[in-house]
Chain A
């Protein structure tokens, strides 16, 4: 039987506020255990929560950036359960009335097709602390530094149909929360983690199968592998005539499998009710308007602009908008190119710029383990280099040499590429007279190869190109060389 996979994703994005969602304690990562837990975080008798405006602001920003509705009035509720790292015995979350409702995430799959994933909601909540099972013989240590850290839980509709789509969605969401500066996206530190709800059904069916929830996937690779494993597991059970039990499962990356954590019967009754310590969260229109005005151009808009105005492919545009820093860098390169080539072909320039940013620059950054905003080659310098390729001052091959020199810091300033070309004498030879006399010499010196070529062995042509490049130390304009050779060899 043909099976269809159905996936919905819940993402916990840690909001980048300096203090916690209901207390003034710091949210900085990595401090000694329990040094960033104040009276409110450890739930001493008598303490009360006070909402952090910055967390609400970030939730609004997210809602606006996905086209969701910002609730004028949302309600904090208590989710009651006992766990040693949950100090109050309940988590403050939002249940019936979340701050963001609806919205969509537009993502581009590797084959270039666009995919829209609908969002159900996004709500504010606090994180729990951490239980430390190692280091304590027969006991558990509790670190409450993380308790009360603000989270935005972003819930998607079950709109994804493969692990690949799920990863594309998660990557796009990850880029977005960083783009609008509400979450640092650090997955190792747990700032962005996903739960996947996975089910399968016979292809063509419009009824959802029984789902399993896979918890706490903190890398895109784990997300993909966990889903792939889970889908295989479910299909196997169904094809053997079995039944899927609704349950919560954990992915074990070491064994690359998911295993049951608790069944539906064991699920908690969280006894949600509105938190009487907190008034309903009121968000006035003016506040929403102010956040809207402060939003940067969003990745989807930028992607559309790159495709429509600059003629990039959807996939290139998606790659370049993978982070705000990359997109900003690319924007700066194209803007500088337009200034350098008044009346030039902006679309062609953009294509070259895209190739350089995604190719040579990305590779160099990767090798050096640098982020693009720390690139030793500035956007202005790269534009200066690309301009010289485009006006035929240098060839693409020589350009790589110039790029390496730029990277090594051999020249400074926006026109560093020109300085390097000048200093190293890399200017391309486009003077046809000079090239013709060089080529005449090569033809005269290699009669055997000439005879071969004229005898029909076309490959011999490359020999002449190589000789010409060698003679010009790589500076001969390849197009001009080719044109002259064709004419003279045809002779």
Chain B
């Protein structure tokens, strides 16, 4: 059961071979047994989950089931869920119980899915290793001394270790794709504006985008069907005709033929992504995957993204700037953490925020406050916004020559816990391949494509033009029909 696809689970639920309650209990049992060593979950609440599971069973019995009815979903703790602690991995919100549901949570609930729990993450999604959480680091099931990637490390690990069939995450600079790659699962960051940010605790509003984690592209498509769609409560949500990503998955490409399902597809490989800094084990796994795409009929061409080198510096101006403002609401006045002792108002603010936020969050608030300050705004923030447009233009130019861009997700496989904690710049460089898609607002995904040194997973990065999620999923699906990297289970979690 733990390796079943969403389709298989839905069929089993419909045929009453398994109930939603049994499925949920099974996940809860695995979490109880296996998560101590992984720390993927911040909160599980079996009572609440099973209540939802019972409702799902009633719905299935009444014949009103959809593809996700009765399916347990692990939500990144950045999504608020009514009645659940919604901590964002921070001491600041450790005791905050949300009175309302995020749009994403609401959509899953409406579909009859079961909230299995809230997953661990870097504090306020700031990190690339899930080590900055107030609730302790997440560990990688492929090697528990390695990081899971971040910031959505808990969700990636929940899926990788088969604690949950699927999970949700958010991606501001790579926070879905990078942990998906390091933990050996599939993760998709949709086009900015596809998934409503309502109830998704803001890190950097112009970059944040929710997306799904699953074991296969086919499952991602089912999840995206529920997550995507216009929401009037988010002004940046896009009003578009809904797509059925699950159905689009099997639609043949215009140039496809027997044995060549990717016939006619032009895959662009940016030379900038295969330069110094990319570990050879990752490079060779990604190159093999690109060869596989070729075997499936795709043609591979070299493309250029000349401003790639500017993406990390401009991201580390824009994201902290927005974060410094977004996190101002955590002041100890209305909810969340408040320092137990203080002299006056300013002292209350200072102590509350000094004690409530961790080092990485404070670092980014400082950077963000600095770059927005009078006299520095033009030199940093405005310049970074200009670079952002140049980066977006790089992609526009590239997509004149190719249909999809393929490359690595991360420079290395999962690194050791603690290895980069004291060197923020090394940590930031982990996102060198993923950040550009956020700056440009493009859809991008990571799928398992092999293993590097010490048997740690490697991800293949696929970046598409705006609104080409269906095509990205279709390519990944064809790749996964021809390979079995995505079906591998870390030892001890089978």
Residues of A in contact with B (beta carbons under 8 Å apart):
39, 42-51, 78, 80, 82, 84, 87-90, 140, 142, 269, 271-273, 276-279
- Whether A50 touches B201, Cβ cut-off 8 Å, given contacts A82-B331, A89-B329, A271-B372, is no
Residues of A within 8 A of B327 (CB): 89
Counting CB contacts under 8 A, is B225 at the interface? Answer: no
Segment touching A, from B95-103, B129-137, B306-314, B390-398: B95-103
B374 touches A269 (CB 8 A): yes
**Quick check: B233 and A87 within 8 Å, CB to CB?**
no
What are 28 contact pairs spanning A and B, CB under 8 A? Answer: A45-B98, A45-B201, A46-B202, A47-B198, A48-B197, A48-B234, A50-B232, A50-B233, A82-B328, A82-B349, A84-B331, A84-B333, A89-B325, A89-B327, A89-B328, A89-B329, A140-B345, A142-B333, A271-B324, A271-B372, A271-B377, A272-B372, A273-B381, A276-B322, A277-B205, A277-B236, A278-B235, A278-B236
A90 to chain B: which residues have CB within 8 Å? 325, 328
Instruction: Out of B93, B328, B345, name the residue touching A80 (CB < 8 Å).
Output: B328
**B229 to A: closest C-beta gap in Å:** 16
Q: Is the CB of B98 within 8 A of A44?
A: yes
Centre residue among A45, A88, A89 by max chain B CB count within 10 A: A45
Which B residue's beta carbon lies closest to that of A279? Answer: B235
Complex Cα distance, B79 from A398, in Å, reads 78
Minimum distance in angstroms from B196 CB to a CB of chain A: 9
Residues of B within 8 A of A140 (CB): 345
Could you tell me the distance between the alpha carbons of A279 and B80 in the complex, rounded to whole angstroms?
24
Q: Known: A84-B345, A271-B369. Is A45-B329 also a contact (CB below 8 A)? A: yes
Name 18 extra pairs, CB < 8 A, besides A45-B96, A48-B233: A42-B334, A44-B98, A45-B93, A46-B200, A48-B197, A48-B235, A50-B233, A50-B234, A82-B331, A82-B349, A84-B333, A89-B328, A89-B331, A140-B345, A271-B373, A272-B372, A273-B321, A277-B235
Pair A87/B325 contact, Cβ less than 8 Å: no
Q: Which of B99, B201, B205, B325 has the largest number of chain A CB atoms within 10 A? A: B325
B residues contacting the other copy or chain, number (CB 8 A): 43
Which of B80, B204, B325 meets A45, CB within 8 Å? B80
Residues of chain B within 8 A of A269, CB atoms compared: 373-374
B86 close to chain A: CB less than 8 A: yes
Q: How far is the CB of A125 from chain B (nearest CB, A)?
A: 16
Identity of the chain A residue whose Cβ is nearest the Cβ of B206 in the assembled complex: A276
Label chain A's interface by main secondary structure. Answer: loop
A273 neighbours in B (Cβ, 8 Å)? 321, 325, 372, 377, 381
Q: Which residues of B contact A278 (CB under 8 A)?
A: 235-236
Please report the C-alpha to C-alpha distance between residue A269 and residue B370 in the assembled complex, in whole angstroms.
Answer: 11
How far in angstroms is the closest Cβ of chain B from A173?
31
Report if B464 contacts A (CB, 8 A).
no
Contact, CB under 8 Å: B372 / A51: no
Contacts of B369 in A (CB 8 A): 271
B199 interface hit (Cβ, 8 Å): yes
For residue A82, which residues in chain B have a CB less than 8 angstroms away from its CB? 328, 331, 349
- Tell me the minimal C-beta distance from A20 to chain B in angstroms: 14
* Smallest CB gap from B369: residue in A: A271
Q: Taking the nearest CB of chain B, how far is it from the CB of A279, in angstroms?
A: 6
- A43 and B198 in contact (CB under 8 A), knowing A88-B328, A90-B328? no
In the complex, which of the residues A48, A78, A142, A271 contacts B198, with contact meaning CB atoms closer than 8 Å? A48
* Chain B contacts for A39, CB-based, 8 A: 99-100
Given contacts A46-B200, A46-B202, contact A87 B334 (CB under 8 A): yes
Which of A45, A51, A88, A279 is in CB contact (< 8 Å) with B86?
A45
- Expressed in whole angstroms, the minimum distance between the Cβ of A285 and any Cβ of chain B is 22
Complex contacts, A45 vs chain B, CB 8 Å: 80, 86, 88, 93, 96, 98, 201-202, 329
Contacts of A80 in B (CB 8 A): 324-325, 328, 372
Contacts of A44 in B (CB 8 A): 80, 98-100, 335
- For A271, list chain B residues within 8 Å (CB): 324-325, 369, 372-374, 377
Q: Within the assembled complex, what's the spacing in Å between the Cα atoms of A89 and B99?
A: 21
**Chain A residue with Cβ nearest B329:** A43
Residue on A nearest B334 in the bound complex, by CB: A42
Binary contact readout B170-211 vs A (1 if CB under 8 angstroms, 0 otherwise): 000000000000000000000000000111111011100000
Smallest distance from the beta carbon of A78 to chain B beta carbons, Å?
A: 5
For the complex formed, measure the closest distance between the CB of A264 and the CB atoms of chain B, giving whole angstroms: 13
Task: Output the least CB separation between B472 and chain A (Å).
Answer: 25
Whether B234 lies near A46 (C-beta < 8 A) is no
| A43 CB contact (under 8 Å) in B334, B372, B381 | B334
- The answer to whether B372 touches A46, judged by C-beta atoms less than 8 angstroms apart, is no
The interface residues of chain A lying within 8 Å CB-to-CB of B200 are: 46
Report Cα–Cα, A271/B198, bound state, in Å.
25
Q: Write the chain B residue with the least CB distance to A46.
A: B199
Q: How far is the CA of A45 from the CA of B336 in the complex (A)?
A: 10
A46 contact set on B, CB distance < 8 A: 79-80, 86, 98, 102, 197-202
Other-chain contact of A276, B93, B98, B205, B329 (Cβ < 8 Å): B205
A144 to chain B, nearest CB (A): 8
Contact partner, A51, options B79, B96, B205, B235, Cβ 8 Å: B235
Q: How far is the CB of A138 from chain B (nearest CB, A)?
A: 11
| Chain A min CB distance to B20 (Å) | 27
Q: How far is the CA of A78 from the CA of B328 in the complex (A)?
A: 11
Q: How far is the CA of A39 from the CA of B334 in the complex (A)?
A: 11
A46 to B324, CA, bound (A): 15
Q: Which residues of B (369-386) have their CB < 8 Å from a CB of A? A: 369, 372-374, 377, 381
> How far apart are A283's CB and chain B's nearest CB, in angstroms?
15
Distance of A89 Cα from B86 Cα, bound (Å):
20
Tell me the smallest distance from the CB of A74 to a CB of chain B, in Å.
14
> In the complex the two chains form, what is the Cα distance from A196 to B96 in whole Å?
43
Query: How many angstroms from the CA of A49 to the CA of B234 in the assembled complex?
Result: 7
Query: Chain A: which residue is nearest B198 at the CB level?
Result: A48
Q: For B234, what are the chain A residues with a Cβ–Cβ distance below 8 Å?
A: 48, 50
Contacts of A142 in B (CB 8 A): 333-334
Among residues of B, the one whose C-beta sits closest to the C-beta of A267 is B374
7 closest pairs, A vs B, by CB?
A89-B328, A276-B206, A271-B372, A276-B205, A46-B199, A43-B329, A45-B201
Shortest CB-to-CB span from A269 to chain B, Å, is 5
Q: How far is the CB of B96 from chain A (nearest CB, A)?
A: 7
Complex CA gap A269/B373 in Å reads 7
Q: Provide the bound-state CA to CA distance between A46 and B96, in Å.
A: 12
Cα distance A277–B234 when bound, in Å? Answer: 8
B327: nearest chain-A partner, CB-CB = A89
Expressed in whole angstroms, the Cα–Cα distance for A272 and B205 within the complex equals 15
Chain A residue nearest to B100 in the complex (CB): A39
State how many angstroms separate the Cβ of B232 from the closest Cβ of chain A. Answer: 7
Closest to B381 in A: A273
Give every chain B residue within 8 A of A279 (Cβ-Cβ).
Answer: 235-236
Query: Digit string of B17-48 for contact with A (CB within 8 Å is 1, else 0)?
Result: 00000000000000000000000000000000
